Chains A and B, each alone.
Chain A
Amino acid sequence: MDSTLQRAADLLAQARFPVFGGLFTDVNGATAALALAQKLGGVVDHAASEGTSRAARVMRETGSTPASFGEVRNRADTVVLIGDGPRERDADLLEKLFPAKNLPRPGDNKRELIVVGTKKGKTPAGIRTTEIDGKNPLPELVALLGAATREMPFEMRDAALGKKVLSAGQRLRESAFVVFVYDPAELEEPVMHTVLETVRYLVKTTRASTLAMSAPGNGDGVNLCSIWTCALPVRTSFAGEIPENNMWAFETERLLKSGEADALVWIDALDGAEAAPPTRAFRGVPSVVLSSKPVKAGRDDIVIEVGAAAADHDAALYLPPIAGIGVVKAKSAKSDKPTVADVLNKIGMLIDEKGAA
Chain B
Amino acid sequence: MLIQLKGGRVIDPANNRDSVGDVYLENGRVVAAPEGREPDEVHDVSGKIVMAGAIDVHSHIAGTNVTLGRQLMPELPLIAASEGQPFGPSPAAWGSYATGIRYAEMGYTTVIEPAMIPTHAIQAHKEMAAIPIIDVAGLVVLGNDDYTLNLLRKGDVKSDELKDYVAWTLAHSKALGLKVINAGGSEAFKFNARTFDLDEQVPEYGVTSRGIVEAMQQVIADLGVPHPPHVHTNNLGIAGNVETAVATLKATGGHPIHLAHIQFYGYGKEGDKGFSSGAPQLMEAINKHKKATVDVGQVMFGQTITISGDVLRQFDGRRAANPKKWVINQAEGNGTGVVPYNYKKKSFVNALQWAIGLEIFLLAEDPWRVLFSTDHPNGALFTRYPEIFHLLMDRKERSRWFDALPEASRQVSGLAGISREITLSELAIMTRAAPAKLLGLTDRGHLAPGAIADVAVYTEQKNKTKMFAAADLVFKSGKLVVRKGTVVDVSWGRCYHVDPGFDRQIEKRVRSFYDTYYGADPSWFGVTETVPDRPDRFATIRCAS
Taking Cβ atoms with an 8 Å cutoff, the residues of A that contact B are 27-28, 31, 38, 56, 59-71, 73-75, 96, 99, 101-104, 106, 176-177, 203, 206-207, 209, 224-225, 227-233, 241-243, 245, 314, 316, 319, 321-329, 341
| Interface size of B in residues (CB-CB distance below 8 Å) | 59
B146 in contact with A323 (CB, 8 Å)? no
Interface residues of B in 90-143 (CB under 8 A from A): 91-97, 117, 119-120, 122-123, 126-127, 130
* B222 interfacial by beta-carbon distance below 8 Å: no
Q: How far is the CA of A70 from the CA of B515 in the complex (A)?
A: 11
A230 in contact with B95 (CB, 8 Å)? yes
Q: Which residue of A lies closest to B146 (CB)?
A: A103
Closest 3 CB pairs of A and B: A326-B524, A104-B204, A68-B331
Q: How far is the CA of A131 from the CA of B123 in the complex (A)?
A: 38
Indicate which residue in B93, B325, B524 contacts A319 across the interface (CB closer than 8 Å). Answer: B524
Indicate which residue in A209, A230, A324 contacts B93 across the interface (CB closer than 8 Å). Answer: A230
B325 in contact with A63 (CB, 8 Å)? yes
A102 in contact with B517 (CB, 8 Å)? yes
B519 in contact with A73 (CB, 8 Å)? yes
Q: Which residues of A contact B92 (CB under 8 A)?
A: 38, 229-231, 243
Q: Which residues of B contact A104 (CB under 8 A)?
A: 146, 203-205
A59 in contact with B72 (CB, 8 Å)? yes
Indicate which residue in B94, B96, B97, B328 contacts A65 across the interface (CB closer than 8 Å). Answer: B328
Indicate which residue in A209, A232, A314, A325 contacts B330 across the interface (CB closer than 8 Å). Answer: A209
B122 in contact with A228 (CB, 8 Å)? no
Q: Which residues of B contact A176 (CB under 8 A)?
A: 191-192
Q: Which residues of A contact B331 (CB under 8 A)?
A: 66-68, 70-71, 323
Pull 14 A–B residue pairs with CB atoms less than 8 Å apart, ordered by A.
A59-B72, A61-B325, A64-B327, A65-B329, A74-B518, A96-B519, A99-B516, A99-B517, A228-B70, A229-B97, A231-B92, A233-B71, A327-B528, A327-B531
B122 in contact with A227 (CB, 8 Å)? no
Assuming the contacts A207-B192, A209-B330, A327-B528, asked whether A70 and B518 have C-beta atoms less than 8 A apart, the reply is yes
Q: Which residues of B contact A101 (CB under 8 A)?
A: 516-517
Q: Which residues of A contact B190 (CB under 8 A)?
A: 71, 75, 106, 177, 207
A70 in contact with B517 (CB, 8 Å)? yes
* B502 interfacial by beta-carbon distance below 8 Å: no
Q: How far is the CA of A59 from the CA of B516 in the complex (A)?
A: 32
Q: Which residues of A contact B16 (CB under 8 A)?
A: none
B528 in contact with A206 (CB, 8 Å)? no
A324 in contact with B533 (CB, 8 Å)? no
Q: Which residue of A lies closest to B338 (CB)?
A: A63
Q: Which residues of A contact B545 (CB under 8 A)?
A: none
Q: Which residue of A lies closest to B90 (CB)?
A: A230
Interface residues of B in 334-364 (CB under 8 A from A): 335, 338
Indicate which residue in A71, A224, A229 contacts B332 across the interface (CB closer than 8 Å). Answer: A71
Q: Which residues of A contact B301 (CB under 8 A)?
A: none
Assuming the contacts A104-B204, A341-B533, asked whether A242 and B192 have C-beta atoms less than 8 A apart, the reply is no
Q: Which residues of A contact B492 (CB under 8 A)?
A: none
A60 in contact with B72 (CB, 8 Å)? yes
Q: Which residues of A contact B122 (CB under 8 A)?
A: 316, 324-327
Known pairs A75-B190, A324-B525. 9 more at Cβ < 8 A?
A68-B329, A73-B519, A74-B517, A228-B67, A228-B126, A319-B520, A322-B518, A324-B120, A325-B120
Q: How far is the CA of A349 from the CA of B4 in the complex (A)?
A: 34
The smallest beta-carbon distance between A57 and chain B, in angstroms, is 11
Q: Which residues of A contact B530 (CB under 8 A)?
A: 314
Q: How far is the CA of A233 from the CA of B533 in the complex (A)?
A: 22
Q: Which residue of B lies closest to A100 (CB)?
A: B516
Q: Which residues of A contact B73 (CB under 8 A)?
A: 60
Q: Which residues of A contact B91 (CB under 8 A)?
A: 241-243
The smallest beta-carbon distance between B301 and chain A, in angstroms, is 23
Interface residues of B in 493-537 (CB under 8 A from A): 516-520, 523-526, 528, 530-531, 533
* B165 interfacial by beta-carbon distance below 8 Å: no
Q: Which residue of B lies closest to A104 (CB)?
A: B204
Classify the interface of chain A: helix, strand, loop or mixed: mixed
Q: Which of A27, A209, A230 has the most CB of B within 10 A?
A: A230
Taking Cβ atoms with an 8 Å cutoff, the residues of B that contact A are 62, 64, 66-67, 70-74, 76-78, 91-97, 117, 119-120, 122-123, 126-127, 130, 146, 190-192, 203-205, 315, 321, 325-332, 335, 338, 516-520, 523-526, 528, 530-531, 533
Q: Which residues of B contact A232 (CB under 8 A)?
A: 74
Q: How far is the CA of A63 from the CA of B117 in the complex (A)?
A: 21
Q: Which residues of B contact A102 (CB under 8 A)?
A: 517
Q: Which residue of A lies closest to B117 (CB)?
A: A324
Assuming the contacts A38-B92, A322-B120, A324-B120, asked whether A66 and B97 have C-beta atoms less than 8 A apart, the reply is no
Q: Which residues of B contact A31 (CB under 8 A)?
A: 126, 130, 533
B531 in contact with A229 (CB, 8 Å)? no
A103 in contact with B123 (CB, 8 Å)? no
Indicate which residue in A59, A75, A225, A328 contacts B71 across the interface (CB closer than 8 Å). Answer: A59
Q: How far is the CA of A246 from the CA of B520 in the complex (A)?
A: 35
Q: How far is the CA of A224 from the CA of B533 in the complex (A)?
A: 17
Indicate which residue in A103, A324, A341 contacts B517 across the interface (CB closer than 8 Å). Answer: A103
The smallest beta-carbon distance between B392 and chain A, in angstroms, is 31
A322 in contact with B62 (CB, 8 Å)? no
Q: Which residue of A lies closest to B516 (CB)?
A: A101
B93 in contact with A229 (CB, 8 Å)? no
The smallest beta-carbon distance between B177 and chain A, in angstroms, is 21
Assuming the contacts A67-B330, A75-B190, asked whether A321 and B517 have C-beta atoms less than 8 A apart, the reply is no
Q: How far is the CA of A241 from the CA of B91 in the complex (A)?
A: 6
Q: Which residues of B contact A68 (CB under 8 A)?
A: 329-332, 335
The smallest beta-carbon distance between B523 and chain A, in angstroms, is 8
A321 in contact with B123 (CB, 8 Å)? no
B330 in contact with A28 (CB, 8 Å)? no
A231 in contact with B120 (CB, 8 Å)? no
B328 in contact with A99 (CB, 8 Å)? no
Q: Which residues of A contact B520 (CB under 8 A)?
A: 70, 319, 321-322
Q: How far is the CA of A324 from the CA of B70 in the complex (A)?
A: 16
Q: Which residues of A contact B78 (CB under 8 A)?
A: 242
The smallest beta-carbon distance between A62 and chain B, in angstroms, is 5
Q: Which residues of A contact B321 (CB under 8 A)?
A: 63
Indicate which residue in B67, B204, B329 contacts A224 across the interface (CB closer than 8 Å). Answer: B67
Q: How far is the CA of A319 from the CA of B123 in the complex (A)?
A: 11
The smallest beta-carbon distance between B144 and chain A, in angstroms, is 12
Q: How far is the CA of A31 from the CA of B73 in the complex (A)?
A: 21
The smallest beta-carbon distance between B508 and chain A, in angstroms, is 18
Q: Which residue of B lies closest to A205 (CB)?
A: B192
Q: How far is the CA of A43 from the CA of B103 in the complex (A)?
A: 28
The smallest beta-carbon distance between A129 and chain B, in angstroms, is 21
Q: Which residues of B contact A38 (CB under 8 A)?
A: 92
Q: Which residues of B contact A321 (CB under 8 A)?
A: 518-520, 524
Q: Which residues of A contact B76 (CB under 8 A)?
A: 231
Q: Which residues of B contact A328 (CB under 8 A)?
A: 524
Q: How far is the CA of A168 from the CA of B63 in the complex (A)?
A: 37
Q: Which residues of A contact B117 (CB under 8 A)?
A: 324
Q: Which residue of A lies closest to B191 (CB)?
A: A106
The smallest beta-carbon distance between A99 and chain B, in angstroms, is 7
Q: How far is the CA of A176 from the CA of B191 in the complex (A)?
A: 8
The smallest beta-carbon distance between A96 and chain B, in angstroms, is 6
A207 in contact with B205 (CB, 8 Å)? no
B93 in contact with A63 (CB, 8 Å)? no
The smallest beta-carbon distance between A231 and chain B, in angstroms, is 4
A316 in contact with B126 (CB, 8 Å)? yes
A60 in contact with B71 (CB, 8 Å)? yes
B517 in contact with A65 (CB, 8 Å)? no
Q: Which of B62, B64, B77, B329 has the most CB of A within 10 A?
A: B329
Indicate which residue in B95, B338, B523, B525 contacts A231 across the interface (CB closer than 8 Å). Answer: B95
B95 in contact with A66 (CB, 8 Å)? no
Q: How far is the CA of A92 from the CA of B400 in the complex (A)?
A: 64
Assuming the contacts A60-B71, A63-B326, A203-B315, asked whether A326 and B525 have C-beta atoms less than 8 A apart, the reply is yes
